[in-house]
């Protein structure tokens, strides 16, 4: 499946030695005369640290390596700003636009406008439902959720939990990924609720993945459950940390396994401390590289075969879906070895001994 993105579509042999295709007025060739410039709109910097610490860094790395012009901006969770940035990028001459939508409605408006102006489009990380992006580049997000469900159940077993009450902190209701994550963890946990092996506790979606709001929501969940929550399926590290902060207040941290996603510095530290059960590592460097390769090809009027599609209603969207990996205490070191976070970031003074114990040298 990954092979497809490495295959550059045949562009035809230049037999005349001519270097330009300016005389050719076919659409694709016309695109090849433009200088590639890639616009990227990131969603915010609070729902997850990844957007600024990983995506921006690895996208810049990929664009610089390809020697292509780029403009990366962050909409800071403001849908109006998102559209304004897109308009400015289109006016500013981007040949390809990559977006991480804040919701499918504004995402679609931006994609359709770009398309109407001849700008190539990519859904980066989040699929825009009913949208018009030429490619979708992400991870297998249902597998992300499955790893979370399996991780929580592994940690509950290790704690010897009997008929544990499990609560859910789902991601933003406007993020298609949140729907896919839930489908993944439901596939593991629902059969356990149905067989009464586990008890389904409170479930809430966290608007815009707002970490602060997640703490309030989790506190209400704990009250509603009379303090008896034995495991928390939190959809990412930020939501997990919010739950952990409330568990700490109630002296329950470390006793109640909590999941996460993104292998953030904070999430990895929570794992080392024993307050978080696991996280899901997504190698954003590969995601950024795949998206950058496609954006550059599109700008040149080339079409790459990704070898895979994802259904959006009736539309088959050519897609690259990378493989996520579950991380536990003993594999925190793998995330550092991969260059996603540094030892210095994770192993600060307070975590030095925990790092050494976890084999991080």
Contacts to ligand BGC by CB under 6 A: 47-48, 50, 125-126, 171, 175, 177, 209, 236, 261-262
Q: Least distance (Å) from ligand BGC to the CB of residue 261? A: 6
What is the spatial distance between Cα 59 and Cα 54, in angstroms, rounded to a whole number? Answer: 8
Q: Supply 291's token pair.
A: 């998206």
CB of 227 to ligand BGC, least distance (A): 28
Q: Taking the complex as a whole, how short is the minimal distance between the CB of residue 26 and ligand BGC, in angstroms?
A: 37
CB 126 to ligand BGC: min, Å: 5
Closer residue to ligand BGC in complex, CB, 107/231: 107
β-strand partners of 38: 70, 96
CB of 3 to ligand BGC, least distance (A): 24
By CB atoms closer than 10 A (0-12, 13-18, 19+), residue 46 is middle
**Could you tell me the smallest distance in angstroms from the CB atom of residue 311 to ligand BGC?**
18
CA distance 94 to 119: 7
Burial letters 178-190, b for 16+ CB under 10 A, else e: bbbbbebbbebbe
Query: How far is the C-alpha of 138 from the C-alpha of 67, rounded, in Å?
Result: 23
Q: What b/e readout covers 34-44, taking b as 16+ CB neighbours within 10 angstroms? A: bebbbbbbbbb
Comparing CB distances to ligand BGC, the nearer of 47 and 331 is: 47
Question: How far is Cα 291 from Cα 204, in angstroms, rounded to an integer?
Answer: 32
Cβ-based neighbours of 298, under 8 Å, separated by 6 or more? 31, 95, 96, 120, 122, 134, 135
Q: Which residue, 212 or 356, is less far from ligand BGC as judged by CB?
A: 212
Q: How many other CB atoms sit within 10 Å of the CB of residue 29? A: 17
Q: Between 234 and 299, name the residue whose CB sits nearer to ligand BGC.
A: 234
Residue with Cβ nearer ligand BGC (178 or 297): 178
Nearer to ligand BGC, 47 or 170 (CB): 47
In whole angstroms, the minimum distance from the beta carbon of 287 to ligand BGC comes to 10
Nearer to ligand BGC, 70 or 209 (CB): 209
Residue with tokens 């902190």: 169
């Amino acid at each position: 499946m990954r092979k497809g993105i490495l295959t550059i579509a045949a562009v035809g042999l230049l037999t005349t030695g001519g270097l330009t295709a300016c005389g050719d007025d076919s659409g694709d060739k016309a695109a090849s005369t433009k200088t590639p410039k890639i616009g990227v709109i990131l969603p915010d910097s609070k729902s997850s640290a990844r957007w600024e610490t990983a995506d921006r860094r690895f996208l810049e790395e990929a664009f610089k390596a390809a020697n292509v012009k780029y403009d990366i901006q962050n909409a800071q969770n403001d849908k109006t700003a998102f559209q304004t940035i897109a308009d400015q990028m289109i006016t500013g001459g981007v040949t390809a636009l990559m977006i991480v939508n804040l919701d499918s409605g504004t995402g679609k408006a931006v994609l359709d406008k770009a398309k109407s102006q001849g700008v190539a489009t990519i859904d980066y990380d989040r699929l825009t439902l009913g949208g018009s992006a030429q490619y979708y580049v992400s991870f297998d997000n249902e597998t992300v959720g499955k790893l979370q469900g399996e991780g929580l159940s592994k940690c509950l077993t290790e704690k010897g939990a009997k008929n544990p009450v499990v609560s859910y902190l789902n991601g933003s209701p406007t993020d298609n990924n949140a729907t896919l994550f839930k489908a993944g963890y439901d596939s593991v946990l629902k059969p356990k609720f149905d067989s009464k092996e586990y008890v389904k506790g409170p479930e809430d979606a966290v608007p815009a993945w707002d970490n602060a709001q997640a703490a309030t929501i989790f506190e209400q969940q704990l009250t509603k459950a009379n303090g008896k929550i034995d495991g928390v399926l939190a959809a990412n590290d930020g939501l997990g940390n919010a739950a952990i902060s409330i568990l700490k207040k109630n002296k329950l941290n470390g006793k109640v396994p909590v999941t996460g996603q993104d292998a953030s510095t904070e999430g990895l530290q929570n794992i080392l401390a024993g307050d978080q059960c696991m996280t899901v590592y997504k190698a954003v460097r590969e995601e950024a590289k795949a998206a950058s390769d496609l954006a550059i090809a599109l700008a040149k009027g080339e079409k790459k075969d990704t070898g895979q599609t994802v259904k959006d209603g009736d539309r088959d969207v050519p897609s690259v879906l990378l493989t996520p990996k579950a991380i536990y205490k003993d594999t925190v070191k793998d995330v550092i070895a991969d260059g996603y976070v540094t030892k210095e970031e994770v192993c600060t003074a307070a975590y030095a001994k925990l790092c050494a114990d976890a084999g991080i040298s």
